[in-house]
Amino acid sequence: TVSVVLFTSDLRVHDHPPMRAALEGGGEVVPLFVRDRAVDRAGFAAPNRLAFLADCLVDLDRALRRLGGRLVVRSGDLVEEVSRAVRQAEAEEVHMAAGYTAFARAREARLRQALEARGCRLHVHEGVCTAVPPGDVTPQGSDHFAVFTPYFRRWQAEPLRTPLPAPQGLRVPAALRSEELPGRSGLSGVSPGLARGGEQEGRERLRSWLSHHAHAYEQRHDDLAGDATSRLSAHLHFGTLSAGEVVFRAGRSGGAGAAAFVRQVCWRDFHQQVLAARPEAAGQDYRSRDDRWRRGREAEADLSAWREGRTGYPVVDAAMRQLAHEGWMHNRGRLVAASFLTKTLYVDWREGARHFLSLLVDGDVANNQLNWQWVAGTGTDTRPNRVLNPVLQGRRYDPDGAYVRRWVPELAGVGGLDGAAVHEPWRRSGLDRAACDYPDPLIALPDGLARFRHARGLV
């Protein structure tokens, strides 16, 4: 049998069940990637992710060549392109990883129909993009967990498969043409400090992270300037690393740091299983319906100041500027910046989520939309009315102000703003303040809090 392996969010050769299954047939295999135009039309093709994706495809092709094969790249409508490749290769089956967004599901259903019409079977593999497949653990009486801790308990008890090695002896039908691999050049709007993509890069990062840094994760993961998290999120998003393998290897390396890290990876599965059960939560409030959000014209000026990192709250601005520069933001920064937009400025979480998705290299429908809802208090958060105070957060997670000075250079070296004082530049008066080109706070925190409490009916 000839089989097509359709790569989507699983751009790797290690621990890849669809490829393993395709090779079991003993025949030729077509490793296929389709640049789906529908993704562009849906506005999801952000330059940072396209650049990272280009690295991943080049690396995947290199890895496949080492195994005797190569990557076949096409662009257009995914269903049409897969059908075309099936016809050209006279393939009898297609293997792919399960996806959990509404988009992925609808696409998969269309593909199944088109393939079955030509007598070709579609095999959709679970557990390729998550460590534990959505729906494998459920509470009694529901199709998903809405609270993290009980989910985590059950998730931890699930057996993990031993990661699969890269397959050997790939044979790709010679006649099958590929488009040129996309490159980074020619893409505009890519963040200057964007990380490199690709499985090799991801595996090296995982190895070095587990051996040198994971042990300190529990104590340091919230330290904004220390930057002590794994930065594996984009690799997990594009599947250059398998979530199952990450958990497996971290579990083996042991220690409290690795355990705390595994717990975070579980958050990723948690959000995937919420989205799989409630795909509409990508755009609608998961729990409460909050119709009082500021949006459109009313929110425009605040939104631009927030996007540009000019809110006058240094830790928020530092985080937003890190996002623009790197296409990535520290988790604590994401929490503070999102809380500021939704709770202090009371702007609709969807506006913030959209901006994040336009820049984040790890931008992911489940993780982004559901984390935004968690912060906005419309999602799975058990404390929906908690407001993070950006000054207190700054003092706590950037105690000597190094993160702020790195990303908001106009506040570095200003007299009287040493150490944690940098989190409250408005306290400086006179010449020092006039000398630094930094905006006044967009809103006084008590005013933001009063509006929030009023809108939520808490007064």
CB of 403 to ligand FAD, least distance (A): 14
Q: Is 40 annotated as a binding residue?
A: no
List 273, 367, 380, 389, residue binding ligand FAD (CB under 6 A): 367
Residue 51 within binding range of ligand FAD, rule CB under 6 A: no
Is residue 213 within the footprint of ligand FAD (CB under 6 A)? no
d(CA 274, CA 370): 8
Residue 134 lies near ligand FAD (rule: CB under 6 A) = no
Ligand-binding annotation for 231, yes or no, is yes
Known binding residue 270? Answer is no
The smaller minimum CB distance to ligand FAD, of residues 3 and 369, is found at: 369
87 labeled part of a ligand binding site: no
338 lies in the site for ligand FAD, by CB under 6 A: yes
Q: How far is the CB of 252 from ligand FAD (least distance, A)?
A: 16
With binding defined as CB under 6 A, does residue 334 bind ligand FAD?
Answer: yes
Write down the least CB distance from residue 376 to ligand FAD, Å.
9
230 is in an annotated binding site: yes
The reply to whether 363 sits near ligand FAD by the rule CB under 6 A is: yes
322 binding ligand FAD? (CB under 6 A): no
> Per CB under 6 A, does 240 bind ligand FAD?
no
Nearest-angstrom CA–CA distance, 115 and 119: 6
Region from 139-147, 223-231, 316-324, 397-405 binding ligand FAD, contact rule CB under 6 A = 223-231
Binding to ligand FAD by residue 267, rule CB under 6 A?
yes
309 near ligand FAD (CB under 6 A): no
Rounded Cα gap, residues 417 and 86, in angstroms: 64
One-letter amino acid of 145: F
Decide if residue 348 touches ligand FAD (CB under 6 A). no
Q: Exactly one of 93, 108, 362, 398 binds ligand FAD (CB under 6 A); which one?
A: 362
Distance CA 389, CA 22 (A): 53
Q: Are 87 and 47 in contact (CB under 8 A)?
A: no
| 248 in contact with ligand FAD (CB under 6 A) | no
| 315 binds ligand FAD, rule: CB under 6 A | no
Pair of tokens at residue 322: 């890190």
User: HEC profile for the chain?
Assistant: CCEEEEECCCCCCCCCHHHHHHHHCCCCEEEEEEEEHHHHHCCCCCHHHHHHHHHHHHHHHHHHHHCCCCCEEEEECHHHHHHHHHHHHCCCEEEEECCCCHHHHHHHHHHHHHHHHCCCEEEEECCCCCCCCCCCCCCCCCCCCCCHHHHHHHHHHCCCCCCCCCCCCCCCCCCCCCCCCCCCCCCCCCCCCCCCCCHHHHHHHHHHHHHHHHHHHHHHCCCCCCCCCCCCHHHHHHCCCCHHHHHHHHHHHCHHHHHHHHHHHHHHHHHHHHHHHCHHHHCCCCCCCCCCCECCHHHHHHHHHHHHCCCCCHHHHHHHHHHHHHCCCCHHHHHHHHHHHHHHCCECHHHHHHHHHHHCCCCCHHHHHHHHHHHHCCCCCCCCCCCCCHHHHHHHHCCCCHHHHHHCHHHCCCCCCCHHHHHCHHHCCHHHHHHCCCCCCCCCHHHHHHHHHHHCCCC
Is residue 371 a contact residue for ligand FAD (CB under 6 A)?
yes
Q: Does residue 232 interact with ligand FAD by CB under 6 A?
A: yes
**Residue 231 binds to ligand FAD (criterion: CB under 6 A):** yes
End-to-end CA distance of the chain: 68
Q: Does 125 bind ligand FAD (CB under 6 A)?
A: no
User: Would you count residue 22 as binding ligand FAD (CB under 6 A)?
Assistant: no
Q: Whole-number minimum distance, CB 93 to ligand FAD, in Å?
A: 31
* Complex with ligand FAD: residue 31 or 377, whichever CB lies closer: 377
Instruction: Answer yes or no whether residue 245 interacts with ligand FAD by CB under 6 A.
Output: no
Determine whether 342 is exposed, middle or buried from the number of CB atoms within 10 Å of its CB (0-12, 13-18, 19+).
Answer: buried
Size of the site for ligand FAD (CB under 6 A): 28
Among positions 7, 33, 52, 356, the unique one binding ligand FAD when judged by CB under 6 A: 356
Q: Does 48 bind ligand FAD (CB under 6 A)?
A: no
363 annotated binding-site participant: yes
Shortest Å, Cβ 78 to ligand FAD? 22
Question: 85-96 as b/e, with b when 16 or more CB fall inside 10 Å?
Answer: bbeebebbbbbb
Contact between 191 and ligand FAD (CB under 6 A)? no
State which of residues 247, 360, 388, 404 lies at the interface with ligand FAD (CB under 6 A).
360
User: Is there a binding annotation on residue 229?
Assistant: yes
Q: How far is the CB of 363 from ligand FAD (least distance, A)?
A: 5
For ligand FAD, which is the closer residue by CB, 44 or 438? 44
Binding residues for FAD: 217, 229-233, 261, 362-364
Binding residues: 217, 229-233, 261, 362-364
Residues at the contact surface with ligand FAD, assessed by CB under 6 A? 221, 229-233, 236-237, 261, 264-265, 267-268, 271, 331, 334-335, 338, 356, 360, 362-364, 367-368, 371-372, 375
